[in-house]
């Protein structure tokens, strides 16, 4: 690690926001240093988030399919077992390869990488306690804060990463718990609950609010909720955890209706706390240079990602907006484009959201509830995967496509997909919304047969006219 005095850009944090900003800045000809304390690049997403969770979702899905679906496809297997250390090992290998890949990209693009904890001395100087035990000062004309987010703690619940785990601990459990309680029915809780549920845990999700994943289109959510219940995931909605006792062998939770009332207890082996994430700025000494944060600890920025202190910018999970890796990446690119004197742009209305369970749920644009609230006259077109030939051929047909379009112009306002690979299918819709397409535009676009994507075409037909296959 070495300090450097004449950086155009210094990025604090090497997550998807920070490392992408650093690479893009270097590509734009700016002298760039990225400071990361973790020891590896890729941030939450690559080390303890998106990537390891998707690795485990895939591996656990394969096990579940081998156990429950292969036979119906005429594939006989005599015994199917989980080798948990091997499963976790494949996840760790994927993570290690990808983090090293980013180091390679830094070298290729000549981004200077400083391993250590950064804190502000002034708006142009960062003091770094390096992982090698030194202290260096890194200077730069522009600083980008990309320090991301951390697990949100719940009052009275201490995470020990063994019996009471965060998402990080849930990615590395040493054995498959017989019973798992997930606190919080957001996408992270449902994804991790799915992983361990498929491997054999009895999963109960306790949620304070009245619904799972509240941001989802209500109709799709109902179907999704049912799909998870069919997989034997249990839900206790409108319920709060008021006490945790870890003194015995397992964990004893005391629960209470969200509105107050009689208490009950629930015994389990492992508890996953996934009640959201909070912006991470501790140890940065923001107050020393006067960077403001809001009530939720986020750093407010203007449309050019500038904070209230000239030359200091912020991107990703640490600023307001959806806490998603691809959003952080978009922020990072746009932010350095502004720094380079170019024009950057992120369309926050068109950030897709995906829940990587099975089936997956993906969406872009407005939900029906949001369209209603806007008072716009709209049409809805739906198509179930049960009527999609590819989904039937592979016997994986649970799901639906739902399109919302403005009645007068047929312009698409929102698309919601529940399907095995909805996270891939959604991008046709993202592009359609980006280009201001009508449902007829999608319906008149030739789609290859037989594909799951045809369900989107049929739902588009159903929006402005009639579908063929139902």
User: Known catalytic residues?
Assistant: 449
Helix crossing, 325-339 with 16-27: angle to 10°? 30
Query: Can residue 44 be called a binding residue for ligand FAD (CB under 6 A)?
Result: yes
Query: Can residue 286 be called a binding residue for ligand FAD (CB under 6 A)?
Result: no
* 415 neighbors 363 (Cβ within 8 angstroms): yes
Please state the closest distance from residue 49 (CB atom) to ligand FAD, in A. Answer: 3
| Residue whose entry in the numeric block shows the structure tokens 């912020």 | 314
Contact pick of 184, 316, 344, 467 for ligand FAD (by CB under 6 A): 316
400-406/378-384 β-pairing: antiparallel
The answer to whether 261 is a known ligand-binding residue is no
Contact pick of 326, 390, 411, 447 for ligand FAD (by CB under 6 A): 326
Please state the closest distance from residue 366 (CB atom) to ligand FAD, in A. Answer: 20
Binding residues for ligand FAD, total number by CB under 6 A: 36
Contact pick of 3, 26, 32, 38 for ligand FAD (by CB under 6 A): 38
- The interface region with ligand FAD, picked from 13-21, 58-66, 74-82, 235-243 by CB under 6 A, is 13-21
The answer to whether 332 is a known ligand-binding residue is no
Please state the closest distance from residue 90 (CB atom) to ligand FAD, in A. Answer: 17
Query: Can residue 324 be called a binding residue for ligand FAD (CB under 6 A)?
Result: yes
Interface positions, 181-200, toward ligand FAD (CB under 6 A): 188
- Closer residue to ligand FAD (CB): 30 or 48: 48
- Closer residue to ligand FAD (CB): 35 or 55: 35
- Closer residue to ligand FAD (CB): 316 or 414: 316
Structure tokens at 345: 């742009």
Please state the closest distance from residue 147 (CB atom) to ligand FAD, in A. Answer: 3
Interface positions, 107-126, toward ligand FAD (CB under 6 A): 117-118
Using CB under 6 A as the criterion, which residues of the chain lie in contact with ligand FAD when the complex forms? 12-18, 35-38, 43-45, 49-50, 53, 117-118, 146-149, 167, 188, 280, 283-284, 316-317, 323-326, 328, 356
- Which residue ranges make up the annotated binding site for FAD? 54, 118, 147-149, 317, 323-326
- Which residue ranges make up the annotated binding site? 54, 118, 147-149, 184-191, 207, 276, 317, 323-326
């Amino acid at each position: 690690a070495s300090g450097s005095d004449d950086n155009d850009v210094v990025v604090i944090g090497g997550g998807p926001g920070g490392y992408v900003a650093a690479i893009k800045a270097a590509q734009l000809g700016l002298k760039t240093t990225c400071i990361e304390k973790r020891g590896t690049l890729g941030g939450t997403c690559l080390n303890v988030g998106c990537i390891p969770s998707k690795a485990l979702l895939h591996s656990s899905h394969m096990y579940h399919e081998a156990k429950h679906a292969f036979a119906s496809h005429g594939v006989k297997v005599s015994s199917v077992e989980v080798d948990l250390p091997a499963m976790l090992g494949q996840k760790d290998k994927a993570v290690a390869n990808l983090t090293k890949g980013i180091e390679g990209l830094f070298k290729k693009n000549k981004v200077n990488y400083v391993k250590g904890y950064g804190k502000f001395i002034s708006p142009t100087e960062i003091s770094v306690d390096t992982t090698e035990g030194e202290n260096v000062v890194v200077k730069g004309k522009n600083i980008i804060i990309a320090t991301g987010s951390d697990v949100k703690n719940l009052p009275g619940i201490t995470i020990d990463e063994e019996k009471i785990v965060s998402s990080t601990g849930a990615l590395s459990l040493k054995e498959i718990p017989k019973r798992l309680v997930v606190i919080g029915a957001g996408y992270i809780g449902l994804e991790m609950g799915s992983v361990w549920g498929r491997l054999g845990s009895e999963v109960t999700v306790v949620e304070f609010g009245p619904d799972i994943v509240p941001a989802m289109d209500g109709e799709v959510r109902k179907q999704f909720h049912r799909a998870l219940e069919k997989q034997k995931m249990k839900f206790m909605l409108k319920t709060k955890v008021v006490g945790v006792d870890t003194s015995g062998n397992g964990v004893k939770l005391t629960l209470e209706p969200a509105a107050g009332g009689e208490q009950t207890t629930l015994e389990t082996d492992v508890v996953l706390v996934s009640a959201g994430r909070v912006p991470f700025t501790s140890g940065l000494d923001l107050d020393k240079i006067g960077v403001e944060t809001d009530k939720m600890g986020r750093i407010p920025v203007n449309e050019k990602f500038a904070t209230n202190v000239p030359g200091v910018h912020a991107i990703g999970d640490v600023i307001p907006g959806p806490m998603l890796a691809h959003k952080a990446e978009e922020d990072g690119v746009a932010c350095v484009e502004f720094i380079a004197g170019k024009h950057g742009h992120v369309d926050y209305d068109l950030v897709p959201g995906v829940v990587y369970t099975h089936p997956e749920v993906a969406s872009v644009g407005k939900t029906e509830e949001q369209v209603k609230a806007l008072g716009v006259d709209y049409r809805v077109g739906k198509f179930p995967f049960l009527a999609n030939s590819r989904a039937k051929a592979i016997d994986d047909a649970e799901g639906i496509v739902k399109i919302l379009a403005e009645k007068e112009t047929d312009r698409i306002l929102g698309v919601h997909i529940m399907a095995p690979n909805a996270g891939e299918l959604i991008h046709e819709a993202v592009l359609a919304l980006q280009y201001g397409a009508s449902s007829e535009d999608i319906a008149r676009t030739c789609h290859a047969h037989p594909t799951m994507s045809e369900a989107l075409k049929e739902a588009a037909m159903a929006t402005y006219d009639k579908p063929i296959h139902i």
